[in-house]
Structure 1
Amino acid sequence: MALVIDLNVCVGCHACVTSCKEWNTSGEAGSLADQHPYDADPSGTFFNRVQTYEAGEFPLADTIHFPKSCLHCEDPPCVPVCPTGASYKRKEDGLVLVDFDKCIGCKYCAWACPYGARELDEARKEMTKCTLCADRIYNEALPERDRKPACVLACPTSARLFGDIHDPESVVSKAIAERGGYQLMPEWETRPANHYLPRQPVNAVNGCGSGSCGCKSTEADHASLEAHGDLNLAAMAVRV
């Protein structure tokens, strides 16, 4: 089981972050600590975070929102380094989980993870991470449509997909095949289950992702932009 995240439609709203925090604080993962939440330097334990950065240069600059959580690797380096066996990979669905009763908070798993997906809960002195809402996706007390990770249900742009990547007919497998989904940092050979759908080229005329908004800009617009520079960019934006 895995997430597929569409970077082309993520708007960085942090709905996934807050819904994840709410569900897991009240779920089987237990209370997730916050340190100084109303002070100048707040911190806390989160299973999911969204990193935002700028790429390119004007007029082709782009703001990219990059959600990141545990990638539930098929060969997770965090598991074999755990001295107590608290970190383990579940065979039936591939989830990488933590047995909190065995965790001693030594941080070995955090040092081994190349993605920075592990966090120490300072209040509980236990390592925490995304569970893909394991206590939710199999909960028969919930309607079937709600048996998805909290972050998936909360996303207002449907940037997050959930399913079995080993099933070629699943929505995630089809999205990976059709959009060229990729794994994060494959050179580490951890074979992450989670994939990302690449961001499409930015349309310099109006800043949209190519093919994602149905705008009416044309090749002539782009040629004119290149010929007349930034002043033409402003005029074209008003016209569009």
Structure 2
Amino acid sequence: MSCSRRNFIAGAGAVIFTTGVGTTAAISSRNSFASGEEEAKIKYGMLHDENACIGCTACTEACREVNNVPEGVSRLEIERSEPIGEFPDVEYRFTRDSCQHCENPPCVYVCPTGAAYKDEKTGIVDVHKEKCVGCGYCLAACPYQVRFFHPENKSADKCNFCRDTNLAEGKQPACVESCPTSALVFGDLNDPNSNINQAIQAKPVYRDKVTLGTKPQLYKVPFDKGEV
């Protein structure tokens, strides 16, 4: 491996310290990519409707099966709130916890080997498994704490919108296909006529930790019977 321990630590430390510079570099890289060919117009995103979600976890099981995710780790979780209301009128809020596919992904900026990257053609944040050295910088940098080490291939892993499985076959992500209440909407955020943009326009939405400047592409319809 050409990356020495000294260069490895110094390089990663510099990126962490100069996050703003990293952001500028990422934008410059995108502009360079577009200069040679037509700029990509797809930006995938997802919406999770907390009012439609019933917490059945069909999405997590479908994700595990389609993407061969081992037991003990998960690409997405459905978190259940504390009881809202009093018995017998008790309800729960269910919210999705998974990769946000940020426009400004901290995990990409801190990766010293280029294993973590954002696909400029789709906006999907993904991992080159063969480049991952297991340093754990991306896991630590992710504000949403949704990355994990795959116990079999020993690389960082997370949701990639079923890019290598369902999406590659022209289908919707496994979680979307399996949801019995249509609580998940997936599509191109750059297409004003897409289902996801129509859903975002039709309902109030929020995104997690937007003050950090990550520009997450996972939108959520807030549960209307409790506080977000």
Which stretch shows the higher mean deviation, 118-127 or 100-109?
A: 118-127
State the identity as a percent: 38
Within 1, Cα distance between the matches of 2:86 and 2:216? 34
Whole-Å Cα distance in 2 between the matches of residues 171 and 181 of structure 1?
15
The aligned residue for residue 16 of structure 1 is 59
* Residue 33, structure 1, aligned to residue 63, structure 2: no
2 CA distance for matches of 1:195 and 1:84? 30
Name the aligned partner's letter for residue 173 of structure 1: N
| Counterpart residue identity of residue 192, structure 1 | P
What SS class does the counterpart of residue 114 from structure 2 fall into? coil
Q: Superposition pairs for residues 40-55 of structure 1, below 5 Å?
A: 44-54=72-82
SS of aligned partner of 1:153: helix
Aligned to 1:139: 169
Does the 8 A contact of 1:175 with 1:181 survive in 2?
no
2:188 to 148, 157, 164: 164
Partner of 2:67, secondary structure, is helix
In 2, the alpha carbon distance for the partners of 1:152 and 1:189 equals 27
1:104 to 125, 133, 139: 133
SS in 1 for 2:186: strand
Q: Distance in 2 between matches of 1:14 and 1:171?
A: 23
1:205 aligns with: none
8 Å CA contact 1:8–1:198 kept in 2: the answer is yes
* Aligned amino acid, residue 14 of structure 1: T
Task: Tell me the C-alpha RMSD between the 2 structures.
Answer: 1.6
Aligned to 1:198: 222
Distance 2:151 2:45 in 1: 28
3-state SS of 1:130 partner: coil
Unmatched segments (≥5 aa) in structure 2: 1-43
TM-score under structure 2 normalisation? 0.75
| Cα distance in 2 for residues equivalent to 1:201 and 1:12 | 16
Query: What TM-score does the superposition give when structure 1 sets the normalisation length?
Result: 0.71
Quote the residue 1:184 is aligned against: 208
Contact residue 84 and residue 102 of structure 1 kept, 8 A: yes
Which is greater in Rg?
1
What's the CA shift string for 1:81-133, capped at 9, x where partnerless? Answer: 00110000000110000000101111110100010110112332211000101
Which structure has more helix as a fraction of its residues?
Answer: 2
8 Å contact from structure 2 (residues 64, 70) kept in 1: no
Answer yes or no: is the 8 Å Cα contact 1:179–1:198 preserved in 2: no
C-alpha contact (below 8 Å) 1:54/1:61 kept by paired residues:
no
Q: Distance in 2 between matches of 1:45 and 1:163?
A: 26
- 1:186 and 1:61, CA in 2 relative to 1: closer, same or farther beyond 3 A? farther
1:20 CA drift (Å): 0.1
Letter in 1 for 2:172: K
Equivalent in the alignment of 1:236: none
Quick one: distance in 1 between partners of 2:189 and 2:83?
Answer: 30
Q: Distance in 1 between matches of 2:157 and 2:180?
A: 26
- Structure 1 outlier segments of 4+, above 6 Å: none
Q: How does 1:219-238 map to 2 (within 5 A)?
A: none
Residue type at the aligned position of 2:218: N
2:102 maps to 1:73:
yes
Letter in 2 for 1:19: A
Q: How far 1:62 moved relative to its partner?
A: 3.1
Name the amino acid aligned to 2:75.
F
